[in-house]
Amino acid sequence: MANARTRYDTISEFLQREHEAAAVSLYGKPAVQLGATPFLFYATNGMAFRLQGRVREHALALPGAGTWAPIGQIADKSPWVLVPASQFLRWDRLAIEALRYAQDGDLRRPQAQPSNGPPPEPPASARWRDNIKALMEKAAAFRLTR
Protein backbone atom coordinates (compact mmCIF):
# COMPACT_ATOMS: atom_id res chain seq x y z
CA MET A 1 0.00 0.00 0.00
CA ALA A 2 1.64 3.21 -1.19
CA ASN A 3 0.06 5.43 1.49
CA ALA A 4 1.29 3.16 4.27
CA ARG A 5 4.87 3.18 2.95
CA THR A 6 4.77 6.96 2.60
CA ARG A 7 3.51 7.22 6.17
CA TYR A 8 6.30 4.92 7.41
CA ASP A 9 8.92 7.00 5.55
CA THR A 10 7.53 10.21 7.05
CA ILE A 11 7.56 8.77 10.58
CA SER A 12 11.07 7.38 10.06
CA GLU A 13 12.40 10.73 8.83
CA PHE A 14 10.80 12.56 11.76
CA LEU A 15 12.32 10.16 14.29
CA GLN A 16 15.75 10.50 12.67
CA ARG A 17 15.56 14.28 12.59
CA GLU A 18 14.04 14.95 16.02
CA HIS A 19 15.09 12.00 18.16
CA GLU A 20 18.44 10.83 16.77
CA ALA A 21 17.05 7.49 15.62
CA ALA A 22 18.65 5.62 12.73
CA ALA A 23 17.00 4.03 9.71
CA VAL A 24 18.45 0.56 9.13
CA SER A 25 17.64 -2.66 7.39
CA LEU A 26 17.28 -5.59 9.79
CA TYR A 27 16.35 -9.10 8.71
CA GLY A 28 15.69 -7.73 5.22
CA LYS A 29 13.07 -5.25 6.44
CA PRO A 30 13.23 -1.46 6.82
CA ALA A 31 13.55 -0.59 10.50
CA VAL A 32 14.21 2.31 12.85
CA GLN A 33 16.39 1.92 15.90
CA LEU A 34 17.66 4.04 18.76
CA GLY A 35 21.23 3.12 19.60
CA ALA A 36 21.27 -0.64 19.18
CA THR A 37 17.58 -1.11 19.99
CA PRO A 38 15.16 -1.46 17.08
CA PHE A 39 11.66 -0.24 17.86
CA LEU A 40 9.92 -0.01 14.45
CA PHE A 41 9.74 -2.34 11.46
CA TYR A 42 7.93 -1.88 8.19
CA ALA A 43 6.35 -4.95 6.64
CA THR A 44 4.28 -5.10 3.46
CA ASN A 45 1.15 -5.82 5.49
CA GLY A 46 1.74 -3.19 8.20
CA MET A 47 4.14 -1.68 10.68
CA ALA A 48 5.48 -3.39 13.77
CA PHE A 49 6.02 -1.48 17.01
CA ARG A 50 7.92 -2.58 20.11
CA LEU A 51 5.52 -1.67 22.92
CA GLN A 52 4.75 -2.56 26.51
CA GLY A 53 1.99 -2.28 29.07
CA ARG A 54 -1.29 -0.58 28.40
CA VAL A 55 -0.15 0.88 25.07
CA ARG A 56 0.66 -2.64 23.83
CA GLU A 57 -2.80 -3.85 24.88
CA HIS A 58 -4.47 -0.94 23.08
CA ALA A 59 -2.45 -1.64 19.94
CA LEU A 60 -3.40 -5.33 20.06
CA ALA A 61 -7.06 -4.32 20.32
CA LEU A 62 -6.95 -2.55 16.94
CA PRO A 63 -8.70 -4.44 14.13
CA GLY A 64 -6.25 -6.77 12.39
CA ALA A 65 -3.38 -6.19 14.86
CA GLY A 66 -1.47 -9.09 16.37
CA THR A 67 1.80 -10.09 17.97
CA TRP A 68 4.83 -10.22 15.74
CA ALA A 69 8.53 -11.05 15.88
CA PRO A 70 11.29 -9.76 13.61
CA ILE A 71 12.72 -13.24 13.05
CA GLY A 72 9.31 -14.83 12.55
CA GLN A 73 8.88 -16.78 15.81
CA ILE A 74 5.70 -15.21 17.15
CA ALA A 75 5.04 -15.50 20.86
CA ASP A 76 2.05 -14.22 22.82
CA LYS A 77 4.27 -12.24 25.18
CA SER A 78 6.33 -10.68 22.38
CA PRO A 79 6.71 -6.91 22.84
CA TRP A 80 6.20 -6.51 19.08
CA VAL A 81 2.76 -5.64 17.73
CA LEU A 82 2.05 -5.64 13.99
CA VAL A 83 -0.54 -2.99 13.18
CA PRO A 84 -2.02 -3.44 9.69
CA ALA A 85 -1.80 -0.85 6.95
CA SER A 86 -5.54 -0.21 7.31
CA GLN A 87 -4.71 1.45 10.66
CA PHE A 88 -1.84 3.60 9.37
CA LEU A 89 -3.38 6.80 10.76
CA ARG A 90 -2.64 5.48 14.28
CA TRP A 91 1.01 4.78 13.53
CA ASP A 92 2.26 8.22 14.64
CA ARG A 93 1.18 7.80 18.25
CA LEU A 94 2.36 4.21 18.38
CA ALA A 95 5.75 5.20 16.94
CA ILE A 96 6.24 7.78 19.70
CA GLU A 97 5.29 5.20 22.34
CA ALA A 98 7.72 2.69 20.81
CA LEU A 99 10.43 5.38 20.88
CA ARG A 100 9.73 6.01 24.58
CA TYR A 101 10.02 2.30 25.27
CA ALA A 102 13.36 2.20 23.41
CA GLN A 103 14.61 5.26 25.31
CA ASP A 104 13.61 3.93 28.71
CA GLY A 105 14.44 0.28 28.13
CA ASP A 106 13.88 -1.56 31.39
CA LEU A 107 13.84 1.68 33.39
CA ARG A 108 10.03 1.72 33.45
CA ARG A 109 10.09 -1.34 35.64
CA PRO A 110 10.17 -0.50 39.34
CA GLN A 111 13.68 -0.57 40.75
CA ALA A 112 14.19 -1.64 44.35
CA GLN A 113 16.12 0.86 46.45
CA PRO A 114 18.04 -0.05 49.62
CA SER A 115 16.19 1.01 52.74
CA ASN A 116 17.70 3.20 55.42
CA GLY A 117 15.56 2.23 58.37
CA PRO A 118 11.78 2.41 58.65
CA PRO A 119 9.85 4.72 56.32
CA PRO A 120 8.79 8.11 57.69
CA GLU A 121 5.51 8.26 59.53
CA PRO A 122 2.63 9.62 57.42
CA PRO A 123 1.22 12.96 58.63
CA ALA A 124 -2.24 11.50 59.31
CA SER A 125 -0.83 8.94 61.74
CA ALA A 126 0.98 11.69 63.66
CA ARG A 127 -2.32 13.59 64.02
CA TRP A 128 -4.08 10.42 65.22
CA ARG A 129 -1.30 9.72 67.72
CA ASP A 130 -1.46 13.29 69.05
CA ASN A 131 -5.27 13.21 69.28
CA ILE A 132 -5.24 9.88 71.14
CA LYS A 133 -2.52 11.13 73.48
CA ALA A 134 -4.59 14.26 74.28
CA LEU A 135 -7.69 12.09 74.91
CA MET A 136 -5.71 9.79 77.22
CA GLU A 137 -4.42 12.79 79.18
CA LYS A 138 -7.97 14.13 79.55
CA ALA A 139 -9.19 10.68 80.63
CA ALA A 140 -6.40 10.44 83.22
CA ALA A 141 -7.26 13.87 84.60
CA PHE A 142 -10.97 13.12 84.70
CA ARG A 143 -12.25 12.57 88.24
CA LEU A 144 -15.72 11.70 89.44
CA THR A 145 -16.65 13.63 92.55
CA ARG A 146 -19.71 13.57 94.75
Range of the domain at 44: 2-106
pLDDT (tens digit, 0 to 9) for every residue of the chain, 146 residues total?
558 888 999 999 999 999 889 999 988 889 999 988 899 999 888 999 999 989 999 999 999 999 988 887 777 778 999 999 999 889 999 999 999 999 887 545 556 677 788 877 788 888 888 999 999 998 888 887 77
Q: Is residue 50 part of a domain?
A: yes
- Residues in a beta bridge with 38: 33
* Distance from C-alpha of 143 to C-alpha of 146, rounded to nearest angstrom: 10
Tally of structural domains, the chain? 1
Q: Is residue 24 part of a domain?
A: yes
Contact 42/83 with Cβ under 8 angstroms? Answer: no
CATH number at residue 85: 3.90.1150.30
Q: Is residue 51 part of a domain?
A: yes
Q: Is residue 88 part of a domain?
A: yes
Q: Is residue 128 part of a domain?
A: no
Q: Is residue 121 part of a domain?
A: no
* Distance from C-alpha of 103 to C-alpha of 99, rounded to nearest angstrom: 6
User: ∠ CA(23), CA(61), CA(68), 5° rounding?
Assistant: 45
Q: What is the pTM of this model?
A: 0.68
